[in-house]
Amino acid sequence: MAVPDKAGVVRRRQDAAAAPEPATLDVSNATRRQHPIRWLAGILVAVLLAQLINMLVTNDNFGWSVVAQWFTAESIMRGLGVTLVLTVIAMVIGIVLGVLLAVCRISGNPLLRAAAGAYIWFFRGTPTLVQLIFFYNLSALLPRISFGIPFGPEFVAFDTNTVITPLLAAILGLGLNEGAYMAEIVRGGLLSVDHGQREAGQALGMTDRRIMKRVILPQAMRFIVPPTGNQVISMVKATALVSVIALSDLLYTAQSIYNRTFETIPLLLVAVIWYLVVTSVLYFGQSFIERHYARGDRQQPSSFWDFLRIRPKRNAFPAVTEGPST
Amino acid sequence: MTQQPATAPAPVLSARGVRKSFGHVEVLRGIDLDVEAGETVVILGPSGSGKSTFLRCINLLESLYGGRILVDGRDVGFEVRGDRLHELAPDEIARRRRDIGMVFQQFNLFPHMTAFENIIEAPVGVKGEKRAEATERARALLAQVGLSGREDAYPRQLSGGQQQRVAIARALAMRPKLMLFDEPTSALDPELVGEVLQTMKQLASQGLTMVVVTHEISFAREAADRVVFMDGGLVVEEGKPEDVIDNPRHERTRSFLARFL
């Protein structure tokens, strides 16, 4: 890269101006700008933080001893397990469904496009909570579920009430809803890949399936993975909705305990802390994966730790990073 | 029906009355062109003359609305049944495209694969060549385009000229019967144009059958067996480079070439 030699630049400038400049007139010796507002904001935040800690320690209503007593109780652990299992299953359904719907949305078949569009419109347009309650009460609408030839003979039939357990209603409600959101994420990722990539694959005699698998999807992943991480974190929290259909997830378990013991706040805290633990682990994993997929990109997302670190003065004005030598 | 008498080998490319429109705009208004094996044909013409569209019709990246294009005696997208053409299934079209290499203006290398992986992707994954065989050939091809030792470089680590040469090697790896070049140097910095043209001249002299759309008049003069001048969706004139470039018969050819002198 042709970085002009520092001394050379100075010398040329001297020739032009015919007046010697002190060597300190160089960007690398510049005085940094001060940030008084940042310091003010910092002090404000520190005062608020001190107040918060003071309250956490001195307010007995938090009932920290009760929190400690229930934190790893067996029933809470089981509730946490239900929450995690539900998150995983609903996300898997959502991702598989999302990829299928996204491929339908960009396919050449107008019928498939319309059908996928209608699905996404319905599931994004109604609240998840309503969908959950709806699936839970499916038997009121369809007392029997049967499989067979449409309008013809049935092969197997079930009583809806025995099939749609709270767990299945929760899986359907969360998973089908998630599919609609994932479809939009996957579609955005697929469309972000340059059209020339597809043409290059076609010119090499690749089939559409192979182009999708080997060329488009690997490149779309960079745009799909980060928002999918957000969806997983949202899903952990969305599972709390299933407490309304009496599925013993983390929140429902905490509620059923405090309904007996009246230790409402401590048990809600147990749930809150567990949700935070799970989402924190996921946040950490997400930033790790994001950095993996951003490899070689100019703009690395800066982490919180980068933000905290005091930057060495010399890099305050970094040199232009080396790009492709075009 | 497409058989020629045994004495005259069928042309590698044979286009007859090719028509194409985008909406109400007629881009191709009946193009006829034959390219014999081993020939290098350069298509010149102003922007919007339809030369790139015609090139993309040859391997069916654009569908034609009328006429017919035969590559190696076969329609790329159709099958003759009785006295009609029947559209082929996408996978069969993909199979027939394997014999036609293409080099794009924007290179279109796969950015998530190294130069080496770009080259062996189609031979191994599409043609089912053995990996060891394809590996050896990929090395030889990279050497041929002057990029020995850059096997493991990702496209973004290569200059535009180097990327385009990898793209040429990638197309050659399929052992195409016909190579299409769609303005291969238009996206390059001026100082990088030479290395790509040099590679292409070499290929032309080695007897590869090539159709090249370009604005590089010097390349046409030095490497082309035949020059075709297109304007307004029609072939205005064609002939030996010294005739078309140095003694153009048509006013439109003359005024186009005048801009390059």
> Residues in chain B, how many?
261
pLDDT at B152: 94
Report yes or no: B70 at the A interface, CB cutoff 8 Å. no
ipTM of the complex: 0.92
From the DSSP assignment, how many helices (H) and strands (E) are in chain B? Answer: 9, 12
Angstrom distance (rounded) from CA B241 to CA B227:
5
B160 to chain A: which residues are within 8 Å by CB? 326
Ranking A48-57, A301-310, B176-185 by mean pLDDT, the lowest is: A301-310
Q: How confident is the model over B197-214, as a mean pLDDT?
A: 95
pLDDT at B199: 95
pLDDT at A319: 43
Q: How confident is the model over B116-123, as a mean pLDDT?
A: 96
Interface probe with B: pick from A193, A197, A199, A204, most Cβ of B within 10 Å: A204
Would you call A205 and B97 a contact, using CB atoms and an 8 Å cutoff? Answer: yes
> Beta B178-182 vs B100-103: how paired, if at all?
parallel
Q: How confident is the model over B198-226, as a mean pLDDT?
A: 95
Closest CB from A207, A214, A218 relative to B90: A207
Angstrom distance (rounded) from CA A258 to CA A280:
26
pLDDT of residue A165 exceeding 90, the answer is no
B91 to chain A: which residues are within 8 Å by CB? 207
pLDDT of residue A316 exceeding 50, the answer is no
pLDDT of residue A302 exceeding 50, the answer is yes
Per residue in A27-82, pLDDT tens?
888 888 888 999 999 999 999 999 999 999 999 888 899 999 999 999 999 999 99
Would you call A203 and B112 a contact, using CB atoms and an 8 Å cutoff? Answer: no
Angle in degrees, 0-180, between the axes of helices B160-172 and B131-144, rounded to the nearest 10: 140
Task: Quickly state the pLDDT bin for A297 (edges 50, 70, 90).
Answer: low
A197 to chain B: which residues are within 8 Å by CB? 108, 110
pLDDT at B225: 96
Closest CB from B111, B121, B154 relative to A214: B121
Per residue in A205-222, pLDDT tens?
999 999 999 999 889 988
Q: How confident is the model over A271-293, as a mean pLDDT?
A: 89
pLDDT of residue B7 exceeding 80, the answer is no
**All residues at 6 or more sequence positions from A172 whose CB lies less than 8 Å from its CB, including other chains:** A135, A164
Sign of CA dihedral A150, A151, A153, A158: positive
DSSP notation for A253-319: HHHHHHHHH--HHHHHHHHHHHHHHHHHHHHHHHHHHHHHHTTT-S-PPPPHHHHHSPPPGGGSSPP
Closest CB from A200, A206, A324 relative to B126: A206
Scanning A210-269 for CB atoms below 8 A from B yields 210, 214-215, 218-219
Both tokens assigned to A281: 């682990």
A298 to chain B: which residues are within 8 Å by CB? none
Task: Quickly state the pLDDT bin for B175 (edges 50, 70, 90).
Answer: very high
Angstrom distance (rounded) from CA A193 to CA A175:
27
A11-47 exposure pattern, b = at least 16 Cβ within 10 A, e = fewer: eeeeeeeeeeeeeeeeeeeeeeeeeeeeeeeeeeeee
pLDDT at A18: 61
Helix (H, G, I), strand (E, B), or coil: what is residue B212? strand
Would you call B112 and A205 a contact, using CB atoms and an 8 Å cutoff? Answer: no
Please give the residue of chain B at the shortest CA–CA distance from A195: B108
**All residues at 6 or more sequence positions from A255 whose CB lies less than 8 Å from its CB, including other chains:** A243, A267
A202 to chain B: which residues are within 8 Å by CB? 59, 61, 94, 97
Report yes or no: B94 at the A interface, CB cutoff 8 Å. yes
Helix (H, G, I), strand (E, B), or coil: what is residue B231? strand
Q: Looking at the complex, report in whole angstroms how far the Cα of residue B209 sits from the nearest Cα belonging to chain A.
A: 16
A324 to chain B: which residues are within 8 Å by CB? 156-159
Q: How confident is the model over B202-210, as a mean pLDDT?
A: 95
CB atoms under 10 Å from CB of A59, counted, come to 11
pLDDT at B170: 97
Both tokens assigned to B206: 């080695």
B101-114 exposure pattern, b = at least 16 Cβ within 10 A, e = fewer: bbbbbbbbbbbbbb
Q: Looking at the complex, report in whole angstroms how far the Cα of residue B71 sits from the nearest Cα belonging to chain A.
A: 14
Would you call A205 and B174 a contact, using CB atoms and an 8 Å cutoff? Answer: yes
**Among residues B177, B218, B223, which one has the least CA distance to residue B199?**
B223
Helix (H, G, I), strand (E, B), or coil: what is residue B180? strand
Would you call B94 and A206 a contact, using CB atoms and an 8 Å cutoff? Answer: yes
Ranking A157-161, A227-231, B33-37, B88-92 by mean pLDDT, the lowest is: A157-161
A194 to chain B: which residues are within 8 Å by CB? 106, 108
Per residue in B53-87, pLDDT tens?
999 999 999 999 999 999 999 999 999 999 999 99
Percent of chain A topping pLDDT 90: 57
Report yes or no: B211 at the A interface, CB cutoff 8 Å. no
Contact A146, A90 (CB under 8 A): no
Contact B118, A200 (CB under 8 A): no
Strand order in the sheet with B66-71: B25-35, B13-22, B66-71, B74-75
DSSP conformation class of B143: H
Task: Quickly state the pLDDT bin for A305 (edges 50, 70, 90).
Answer: low
Closest CB from A196, A197, A207 relative to B91: A207
Closest CB from A196, A207, A296 relative to B156: A296
pLDDT of residue B253 exceeding 90, the answer is yes
pLDDT at A321: 44
B174 to chain A: which residues are within 8 Å by CB? 204-205
Q: Looking at the complex, report in whole angstroms how far the Cα of residue A202 sits from the nearest Cα belonging to chain B.
A: 7
Helix (H, G, I), strand (E, B), or coil: what is residue A121? helix
Task: Quickly state the pLDDT bin for A326 (edges 50, 70, 90).
Answer: very low
> Beta B234-239 vs B226-231: how paired, if at all?
antiparallel
Would you call B95 and A205 a contact, using CB atoms and an 8 Å cutoff? Answer: yes
Percent of chain B topping pLDDT 90: 93
Contact B224, B214 (CB under 8 A): no
Would you call A210 and B126 a contact, using CB atoms and an 8 Å cutoff? Answer: yes
What domains can be seen in chain A, in order of their start residue? 62-294 (1.10.3720.10)
Residue B234 sits at φ, ψ, to 5 deg, of: -135, 155
Angstrom distance (rounded) from CA A250 to CA A80:
5
Q: Looking at the complex, report in whole angstroms how far the Cα of residue B251 sits from the nearest Cα belonging to chain A.
A: 36
Please give the residue of chain B at the shortest CA–CA distance from A294: B112
Both tokens assigned to B5: 């008498």
**Among residues A42, A9, A203, which one has the least CA distance to residue B106?**
A203
Ranking A7-11, A25-29, A244-248, B135-139 by mean pLDDT, the lowest is: A7-11
pLDDT at A24: 83
pLDDT of residue A322 exceeding 80, the answer is no
Both tokens assigned to A314: 């010399």
Per residue in A114-162, pLDDT tens?
999 999 999 999 999 999 999 998 888 888 888 888 887 878 888 877 7
Angstrom distance (rounded) from CA A48 to CA A54:
10
Both tokens assigned to A267: 């048990």
Q: How confident is the model over B33-49, as a mean pLDDT?
A: 94
Q: How confident is the model over A215-236, as a mean pLDDT?
A: 91
Chain centroid to CA B159: 22
Percent of chain A topping pLDDT 70: 84
pLDDT at A200: 97
Ranking A22-31, A255-264, B106-115, B128-137 by mean pLDDT, the lowest is: A22-31
Both tokens assigned to B88: 């082929």
**All residues at 6 or more sequence positions from A227 whose CB lies less than 8 Å from its CB, including other chains:** A185
pLDDT of residue A320 exceeding 50, the answer is no
pLDDT of residue B24 exceeding 70, the answer is yes
Q: How confident is the model over B23-40, as a mean pLDDT?
A: 94
Would you call A202 and B192 a contact, using CB atoms and an 8 Å cutoff? Answer: no
B121 to chain A: which residues are within 8 Å by CB? 204, 214
Angstrom distance (rounded) from CA A251 to CA B14:
72
pLDDT at A317: 47
Would you call A200 and B156 a contact, using CB atoms and an 8 Å cutoff? Answer: no
